[in-house]
Structure 1
Amino acid sequence: MTEMLLRYFRTKQKEAQTEKIYDTQCPFCSMQCKMQLIEQSTVTRKKYVTVGKDNPTSEGRLCVKGLNAHQHAVHTERIKYPMLKVDGEFKRISWEKAIKIIKEKFTTIQDNYGKDALSVYGSATITNEEAYLLGKFARVALGTKYIDYNGRLCMSAAASAAAQTFGMDRGFTNSIQEIPHSRCIILAGTNLAECQPTIIPYFEKAKENGAFIIVIDPRETATTKLADLHLKVKPGMDAALANGLLKVIIEKNLLDEEFITKRVNGFDDVKHYVSTLVLDEIAEISGVPTEQIIKAATVFGKEETGMIFTARGVEQQTDGSIAVRNFLNILLATGKIGKKNSGFGAVTGQGNGQGAREHGQKADQLPGYRSIENDEHRKYIANVWGIDEEELPRKGVSAFEMIQKMDEGEIKGLFLMCSNPVVSNPSAEFVKQAIEKLDFLVAVDMFVSETARLADLILPTTSYLETPGTMTNVEGRVTLREASFSIRGEAKHDWQIICEIAQALGKGQYFSFSSPEEVFNELKEASRGGIADYSGITYDRLREQKGILWPCPDDDHPGTERLFENQFAHADGKAIMVPVPIAPEIPKEKPNQEFPLYLTTGRVMSHYLTGVQTRKSSTLAAREFESYMEIHPSTAEKYQIKDNVLVKIESKRGSIIVRSKWSKAIRKDTVFVPFHWADSQNVNRLVSKKLDPTCRMPGFKVSAVKITPVAN
């Protein structure tokens, strides 16, 4: 009897469940949804459940990625210790040895080849504190001009367009709460329903309120289902289409002439240029029927309020910056900016795509959105950092151009933080070969990514559950991500890794931080008076207010919900319109006899970026376990491609093999491949090295390809 009782109590003890709750934010898209991870533990197992938490942006909603994000954070393949490549294999070493090796290698490279022989490649998924510190690390600890980040491949076109047009760039010019009250909305090159699903209810509310929604996309998507009008544009022809919309608006006199007179420069030049264009020719070039162009322009022009949102479909082009400027021309011509329920939204892709580009990771940038070439800006930051202004390097080059300098031998070493350029960059095989030429590569990551495989040394970093700090979401709302989950093995926070290496390099006095909040307090000072002014933001205010929209220049400032109400950020207070050529400065590939189809790329709901994290989630991987090529059935039949078979896709740069997926949702002259897969399924192998002349964005969205079935 006693033995039976003991067995009973042991069983009950094993079944007894404890529960821990961890506050956090989703690590994926720019909505940065607040959530809680609930850890339910028994003696024998742990179970995790994720629930949404109320906040001003996503209002407690989560998508399938957020619900399952923890699966990669607790995955058994997480890197837990520093690992050194020895005879082609990674071996565990101590942190002390890892830091010593970095010091020796970095010092040797710079002694032999100069300061700029080292480079830094950052990320838009790290916190504001870490992005800030990484920029400071490059310029102060390494003294190199060569730093850029993976956001160059994401937000640079929209950022440069907004800065040139308005004088500053913040993702949304209005708060997200105004979307439901706008009367006409243009979504250009964005598939929000799959890329930022938790924003969709705002657009659904807008429709319920009577808004007319126009979607511009070569494909029918979950987002186009919302549309009252879908403009099925040819890949890469967005700037031309915007010219057509402008022409109709101007010729029908759907203008806000008072706004133009008082607040805009350059309108007459734009008006003259579009008057020389023929609407039917624009229809032919863009692939959008004339009557649809007229309808879209007329509705947008006549409505009292309107918003335009752009994303990668418009921006990831070799004319992405100027194409976005043409959509901004439409807003300015109709006066739909700087007022309630009217404005622009650049739909940031990565979790901290906004904040990561504000505080020093870009080649030409210093914290607070300051310019590294501006003498006043340089002096201010040098004073904050306690260095001489002459010690600050000048501007470097963009992310892909750094890789070209690796290929040419000018850059000999790379410090890579939380990015996977071998998969994410264009001409991916070239990128791999260039990185293999480096004398020394350090990769900071959670997993052995495709790029980390090439590293000499990998340093283990912490996940979103373990790393506290601030992020700046799609609106420009600074939020505080709490994190208290136990750290895996010997992993360290990115900011700690940076500080320890700086200490070893003899620059420890500039990196003597003991917490993310200490880093943020210096970031605040560095941003003070800059365009992206965080100086009135504190951790306590972020906890209390659940986020603050910048600029926020003092402790009593509530944050700025709507930009440009009275003036733009140029010196004269006016915005600038420019004529946008119908033929881009850098000619895009067009289908020809050898390569007869357009290839365009994009995302799927269950994956994120290069898939390093989401492919570690069994739930997400099961939804989309391999890449595919979406193709119209009539096009497939023409090229003898059956549904659900392996297909070889070739461009001038290389080839990949993926599975076919018939779909009437895509243009007959176009195929679509998502970009989340690597190696033989990496669609970026097919993309050209050509870059936007303004922002240095590669042209991911337009390649000419041929397709052939793979023999059984």
Structure 2
Amino acid sequence: MTRNPNTGCDGDHATFCRICEAHCGLVARVKDGRIESIAPDKDNPLSRGHACVKGVNMHRVTHDPDRVQAPLKRAGAPGEFVEVSWDDALDDIAQRIADIQAAGDAGAIASYYGNPTAFSSDCVMTFLDFMRGLGSHKPYGAGSQDTNARMVATNILHGAPFPVTFPDFADCEFLIIMGANPLVSNGWLMCTPRIRHDLDGVAAKGRVVVVDPRRTETASRYEHVPIEADSDVWLLLAMLKAMAEDGLLDDAKIAKISNGWPDLLAAVTRIDLETAAARTGIAADAIRRLAADFCRAPRAAIYGGLGLCRGRYGMLGAFLLGAINAVTLRYGAPGGTRFGQQMLASTAKPFSGSYGAPFSRIGNLPSIGGKMPFAVLPGDILEPGEGRVRALFMSSGNPLLSAPGGEMLERALAALDLFVSFDFYRNETNAFADYILPTTTFLERGDWPFVAFGELQSPFLQYSEAVVHPQGESRDEYQIYCEIAHRLGMAAPTASPEKIALAQAGHLPSPRDQIDAMLREGPAGDRFGAREDGWSRERLLDFPHGVMVDDLPDDAHEWRLRISHDDGLLRLWDPLIGEEIARLVAEMSAPRDTSTLRLIGRRDIRSMNSWMHNVDKLVRSQRPVLLVHPTDAEARSIASGDIVRVRSPNGAVAFEAEVSPDIVRGTICYPHGWGHGGGWDRANRTAGGNMNILLGVGPEWTERSTGMTLIDCLDVELSLVAETAH
């Protein structure tokens, strides 16, 4: 196979997308040092010609005239910047860090880790280590708007927040999907670039049942079971009870793979199916049928997405979903739930113990996977006392449009002594930064599909060099970390004594070199030349489209080796689960205020949170509107096209309404990431409002066991502001 042209040279460059977990193969055509076009890579053996509209338009981000291409320093009010040299920026940043460190307050430096950071090997492997090297123990992250509930549930079930499981699509015959829209998201916490093909395969053999308050794109294609927003836990508990009552479970076999089933079963018996039916809007006999059909299907799995995790009982819902897979003996079974294929050498239990400490100064909330919940960051900056945050380093984030805080977050950012943003856009949040340091897009750096290596259903390898050279003065993040560290007298951007010793000896490998070593030592690796047919980065360069490692045996049946509990058994009970079920049961008698509606979010396949809205080809056909059920609209004299106001206890926002039967009565739906006012011209001309203004900030607005922001299923009021011509 022919290697790619050298970086920046004319021709077609095989690479892969790093916007989401799917990592679809791409072919970028370069002419005169610029990317002219991007197409799906038909020769990529994993994605086989699939790529969504975002990936094939990524060159419009790389060559966006609004991109930050030189270091920017604040020179006035928020959003007012001047270009400075790298040396001037880094010298000043290092001196200000040193001054803060000299004050001796270990809690004064914090970081924020945005979603795109996970898709850069440099960042995901080094950013938090760099912050620890600066003496910071306060990493805040997007996980409290995203994955934390799933991580805590997995920590209980498996003994560690990672790795997670996902359906064995190839052999599945009955799949239940809750709180996910994979035809738009491409799947969550799994690498499935051909997800529609996978789901169609399941449906052809049996059934795909989508439980969701909205008739999503996925629900429209398969079987849709509408459900009341924020009632998933009632359905899952009722299904467990029906399975047990109807004799569909084998207690002896459950005992061989798990601990705690008797405790969970005792708690489940407190749930009444009729109450669950009233809460979910799904008839009791329909719940019982769904439970029976699932148990009797030879090859079945239940899968949950982000929508399951962002309500008042997100962690409990994610746990119960895993428990159903466990008690129906789906772990490692053909067509059931499985761990990803291991491609890299690693310890058996790499993430053990990463739940709990350090706890947040505000609210005493736990860290999940080493990161603190964002909802308490504004208070951590503004509230006086020892440990108050004075400096913030933000990697690829825009929390003003993707997290809680609103006006309080703006005040907090303005109060910082030092705010440094690593980004390639001037967005709404880093308008408050002292410095914006320009970083590379994924087309300007070599990389591995590192996240995918833990989420693969089939063994696959790929490495891509940079397609084009960094634009302007942009730099890779790791290079920037090293420059700051050296100015502070650090041998390397790390707190690890082993890495410091290697750096002092001149032998510290780069993050990409470290991954190469893990590959070479792993099950498919060349063992540094000892195995002739093994793989390394150098050999992969001869296969730029990637390779399926067909001779690597499927290890799905060895799932117990991936459980971090000492006995290798799943945990189906924990005091946290008892507390959450008790809280749920205590609410059974509380009637819901029917004058309010519940607000949920959604995704658009042309959008990725807030950061791709400056690409005209993507946003010109997008129209963020509030979906309202016809009955709820009629009660408020609302018609499609009207401007309406949504009000929560925390604020109010105006949206354009669209009356739609695709949303259940009592629920309204709007996408996040809109309401632009940063340094990007096209994004600022888009319609839409910032729904995050409606979110609460502080520990009282989180799910306490996880620190998850209560984003979905907020109780809100809806009213007409202005009619439009109908």
Which TM-score band (shorter chain)? 0.7 to 0.9
- 1:467-502 deviation digits (Å, cap 9, x = unpaired): 222331296247534323121100101111111111
- The equivalent of 1:687 in structure 2 is 695
Contact 1:645/1:709 (8 A) holds in 2: yes
From 198, 202, 205, give the equivalent of 1:206: 202
Shift of 1:212: 1.6
1:146 aligns with 2:138: yes
Q: Secondary structure at the match of 2:404?
A: coil
Are 1:131 and 2:115 an aligned pair? no
1:5 alignment counterpart: none
Q: Residue 718 of structure 2 aligns with which residue?
A: 707
Q: What is the alpha-carbon distance in structure 2 between the residues aligned to residue 508 and residue 517 of structure 1? A: 13
Structure 2 counterpart of 1:283: 277
C-alpha spacing 1:263/1:502, structure 2 compared with 1 (3 Å): same
Distance 1:695 1:549 in 2: 37
Matched residues in 2 for 1:548 and 1:109: separation? 48
- Relative distance call for 1:528 and 1:479 in structure 2 (3 A) is closer
Q: Does 1:417 align with 2:395?
A: yes
SS of the aligned residue for 2:69 comes to: coil
Which secondary structure does the structure 2 equivalent of 1:225 belong to? helix
**Aligned-pair Cα RMSD in Å:** 3.7
Between the aligned partners of 1:314 and 1:374, the Cα distance in structure 2 is 22
> Are 1:677 and 2:674 matched, yes or no?
yes
CA contact (8 A) 2:159 2:352 kept: no
Aligned residue for 1:681, secondary structure, equals coil
2:618 to 617, 620, 625: 620
Residue in 2 aligned with 1:403?
378
1:90 maps to what in 2?
81
Equivalence for 2:608: 608
Distance 2:304 2:469 in 1: 39
Cα 1:623–1:590 shift into 2, 3 Å? farther
Q: Equivalent residues in 2 for 1:222-233 (5 A)?
A: 222-228=217-223, 230-233=224-227
Tell me the amino acid that sits aligned with residue 403 of structure 1. Answer: P
Distance in structure 2 (CA, Å) of the matches to 1:517 and 1:548: 25
1:76: how far off? 0.6
Per-residue CA deviation, residues 345-387 of structure 1 (Å, 9 max, x unaligned), is 89xxxxxxx99xx99xxxxxxx942546999xxxxxxxxxxxx
Aligned AA (1:603): R
Which residues of 2 match residues 507-656 of structure 1 at below 5 A?
A: 507-509=490-492, 518-522=510-514, 538-540=536-538, 560-561=555-556, 564=559, 568-578=563-573, 581=581, 583-584=583-584, 592=593, 596-609=596-609, 611-612=610-611, 614-624=612-622, 626-656=623-653
Match of 1:107 in 2: 98
**1:307 and 2:301 equivalent?**
yes
Q: 1:60 to 1:445 in 2, by over 3 A?
A: same
Out of 473, 479, 499, the position equivalent to 1:496 is 479
Shift of 1:430: 2.6
1:30 counterpart SS class: coil
Do 2:516 and 2:537's aligned partners in 1 also have CA atoms closer than 8 Å?
no
For the 8 Å contact 1:318–1:698, the answer to whether it is kept is no
- Equivalent position amino acid for 2:185 in 1: C
Supply the distance in 1 between the matched residues of 2:614 and 2:649 (Cα, whole angstroms): 32
Q: Distance in 2 between matches of 1:368 and 1:637?
A: 54
AA at the equivalent of 2:136: T
Show CA shifts across 1:270-314 (max 9, x none). Answer: 222222221011111122222221221111111112122211110
Amino acid at match of 2:689: Q
Partner AA of 1:592 in structure 2: D
CA distance in 1, matches of 2:547, 2:148: 23
After the TM superposition, which of the residue ranges 537-546 and 56-65 deviates more from structure 2?
Answer: 537-546
Compute the displacement of 1:171 (Å).
5.7
Deviation at 1:109, TM superposition (A): 2.0
Among 59, 79, 84, which residue is 2:48 paired with?
59
Tell me the CA shift for residue 702 of structure 1: 1.2
Is the counterpart of residue 251 in structure 1 residue 248 in structure 2? no
- For 2:378 and 2:255, locate their aligned partners in 1 and report how far apart those are by CA, in whole Å: 45
Q: Does residue 166 of the first structure (1) align with residue 167 of the second (2)?
A: no
The 1-side partners of 2:313 and 2:547 are apart by 33
Alignment of 1:235 with 2:229, yes or no, is yes
Q: Secondary structure of 2:649's partner?
A: coil
Cα distance 1:273–1:226, how it changes in 2: closer, same or farther (>3 A)?
same
Q: Letter of the 1:265 partner, please give it.
A: N
* 1:662 aligns with one of 652, 659, 682: 659
Asked if the contact 1:310–1:324 (Cα under 8 Å) also holds between the matched residues in 2, the reply is yes
- Aligned-partner SS, 1:602: coil
Deviates more, 1:567-576 or 1:27-36: 567-576
- Answer whether contact 2:149 2:706 (CA < 8 A) is retained: yes
Q: Offset at 1:58?
A: 2.6
Residue 149 of structure 1 and its aligned partner are, at CA, apart by 2.2
* Pairwise CA distance, 1:116: 1.9
**Cα 1:432/1:539, change in 2 over 3 Å:** farther
Amino acid at match of 2:441: S
- Percent identical: 23
Partner deviation per Cα, 1:523-573 (whole Å, 9 max, x = no partner): 68899999xx999985347666977999xxxxx987855551577331111
Please give the TM-score of this superposition, normalised by the length of structure 1: 0.82
Query: Which one-letter code corresponds to 1:60 in the other structure?
Result: G
Deviation of residue 316 (structure 1)? 1.5
Post-superposition Cα deviations, 1:573-619, rounded to whole Å, max 9, x if no partner, equal 110113661744997999637x611111121111001x22x212111
* TM-score, structure 2 as length reference: 0.81
Given the superposition, is the C-alpha separation of residues 191 and 100 from structure 1 closer, same or farther in structure 2, using an over 3 Å criterion?
same
Separation in structure 2 between the aligned mates of residue 47 and residue 566 of structure 1, nearest angstrom: 47
What are the Cα deviations for residues 328-360 of structure 1, in whole angstroms up to 9, with x where unaligned? 1111111011222210689xxxxxxx99xx99x
The answer as to whether partners of 2:339 and 2:455 remain within 8 angstroms in 1 is no
1:271 is matched by which residue type in structure 2? L
Whole-angstrom distance in 2 between the partners of 1:303 and 1:482: 45
Tell me the CA shift for residue 401 of structure 1. 2.6
Sort the Cα spacing of 1:616 and 1:526 in 2 relative to 1 into closer, same or farther, 3 A: same
Q: Given the superposition, is the C-alpha separation of residues 306 and 515 from structure 1 closer, same or farther in structure 2, using an over 3 Å criterion?
A: farther
Change (3 A) 1:522 1:68: closer
Query: Is 1:443–1:452's contact at 8 Å kept on the other side of the alignment?
Result: yes
| Corresponding position of 2:351 | 369
Closer, same or farther: CA 55–298 of 1 in aligned 2, 3 Å:
farther
The alignment partner of 1:193 has SS state of: helix
Report the counterpart of residue 22 of structure 1 in structure 2.
13
Equivalents in 1 of 2:247, 2:468: separation in Å?
Answer: 59
Q: Distance in 2 between matches of 1:540 and 1:240?
A: 52
2:587 and 2:13 mapped to 1: Cα distance?
Answer: 51
User: How many Å separate the matches in 1 of 2:35 and 2:163?
Assistant: 39
Partners of 2:291 and 2:396 lie apart in 1 by: 42
- Assess if the C-alpha contact under 8 Å between 1:309 and 1:344 holds in 2: no
Which residue identity is paired with 2:567? D
C-alpha separation in 2, matches of 1:30 and 1:449: 24
Give the Cα–Cα distance (whole angstroms) in 2 for the partners of residues 193 and 374 of structure 1: 34
- 1:472 pairs with 2:483: no
Counterpart for residue 36 of structure 1: 27
In the alignment, is the contact (CA less than 8 A) between 1:263 and 1:567 conserved in 2?
no
Work out whether 1:440 is the aligned partner of 2:418. Answer: yes
Provide the residue aligned with 1:6 in structure 2. none
Match in the other structure for 1:193: 183
Please give the alpha-carbon distance, in whole angstroms, between the structure 2 residues aligned to 1:84 and 1:305: 58
